[in-house]
Structure 1
C-alpha cells in the first residue's frame, strides 16, 4: 500500500473512484436516515472530487489526452452535476429517486471508467512521477476549499472553480453545519 505522502494523483483519484462506487452501493442498499446520510456523503464526495479534477487534473491532462477527451469529461461532469443537484433537491424519499439515482450511477461509473482508460494513462505517460505526487497534494488542497454540493450553473472550468469555488464552499459548509445541527437537535 502506498502511503498518503507517496501517493500520486492517479492513485488518489482511483481510491476516490472506489469510495464513490461504495457509496453508490450503500445508498442503494439503505433506506430512511441511513439512505439520506449515505446520499449526503456521496453528494459531498462527488462535488469536491469533480471540482478538484476540473482545477488540477483536466488542465494537466489536456495536452496528454487531447482536447476532445477533456471536453467530453467536462460535459459528462456538467450533466452529472445537474442530475445530482436535482436529486439533492428531490430527496431520497421521493417516488422516482431510485430510478433517477440508478441512471446517475450508470453515468458516473461510465465517466470514471473513461477517466481511468483515457485520461489517467495519458497522465502517467507524459508527466513525471514527482509532479504526479505534487498534483495529489494540489487535488487535496482544492478539495479542502471546494463546494460540498454540485453547482451546475457555475460551470466546469478551472478558472470558475478557483474564483467561485471558495465562496460557494463557505456557503455550502455553513448550510451543512446548520443542517447537521438541526438534525442533531431533532434527534
Structure 2
C-alpha cells in the first residue's frame, strides 16, 4: 500500500491564496460581529501566509529561479505595502466609513500579488526544486503557522499572554520567530 502524497509548499500556499480571496469576499458581505470575525481571520491568514513565504519560500526562490533577486524584491515590496494597508485597516476598524474602499483596494492588490507569485515564483519552484524538499518546506510553513495564536486559540485560553490574532504586525513577528526556531531545531 502506498502512502498518500503529502501536499508541497506550492499546493499549500496556493490553497491559502484561495482562502484569502474567499475571506475578502466574506468580509465585504458580512456585517457586525461576523464581519469583525471574518476580518480577524483574514488578518491572521494574510499575516502568517506572507511571513512564512518570506522566511521559507522566497529564500529558495532567490536561488532557484532566473532573476530570483529581482522577482523576490518585487514581491517583498508588494508584501510590505500589504502589511501597511492591513495595519491601517486594522487601526480603522470594520465600521469606519473608509474601511470597505480600502479593503477592496487591498483585495485587488493581494490578488495581483498572488498571481505574480504563482506565475513568477511557484511555477519555477515546482519545476526546479525536488518534490521532497518542497514537501519539507510545506512542513516548515505548517509548523510555523501552528505556533501563531489565532483568534480561536486566544479566546479559548484567556490565561495565556498570547498575542491577539488581530494585531497584524505582531503576527508577522510571531511567524518569523517560529520559523527561526524551526530552522535551529531541525537543521
TM-score (ref. length: structure 1): 0.78
Corresponding position of 1:141: 143
2:83 and 2:168 in contact (8 A); partners too: yes
Give, in angstroms, the shift of residue 26 of structure 1.
0.3
Corresponding position of 2:56: 56
2:52 and 2:179 in contact (8 A); partners too: no
Write the distance in 2 (CA, Å) between the matches of 1:85 and 1:75.
16
Corresponding position of 2:177: 162
Pick the aligned partner of 2:109 from 86, 107, 110: 107
The answer to whether residue 107 in structure 2 is matched with residue 118 in structure 1 is: no
1:55 and 1:142 in contact (8 A); partners too: no
TM-score (ref. length: structure 2): 0.78
Write the distance in 1 (CA, Å) between the matches of 2:179 and 2:6.
30
Pick the aligned partner of 1:150 from 144, 168, 185: 168
Give, in angstroms, the shift of residue 4 of structure 1.
8.6
Alignment: residue pair count? 159
19 and 25 in structure 1: CA distance in 2 versus 1, 3 angstrom threshold: same
1:50 and 1:77 in contact (8 A); partners too: yes
Write the distance in 2 (CA, Å) between the matches of 1:123 and 1:67.
14
Write the distance in 2 (CA, Å) between the matches of 1:5 and 1:51.
26
Corresponding position of 1:87: 89
Give, in angstroms, the shift of residue 135 of structure 1.
0.7
Map Cα deviations across residues 31-52 of structure 1 (whole Å, 9 max, x no partner). Answer: 1111111101000000111111
Write the distance in 1 (CA, Å) between the matches of 2:4 and 2:93.
35
Gaps of 5+ in 2: 149-162, 182-187
39 and 21 in structure 1: CA distance in 2 versus 1, 3 angstrom threshold: same
Map Cα deviations across residues 36-78 of structure 1 (whole Å, 9 max, x no partner). Answer: 1110100000011111111100001112231000011111111
Gaps of 5+ in 1: 167-187
Give, in angstroms, the shift of residue 164 of structure 1.
10
4 and 110 in structure 1: CA distance in 2 versus 1, 3 angstrom threshold: farther
Corresponding position of 1:75: 77
164 and 9 in structure 1: CA distance in 2 versus 1, 3 angstrom threshold: closer
Q: CA RMSD in A?
A: 2.5
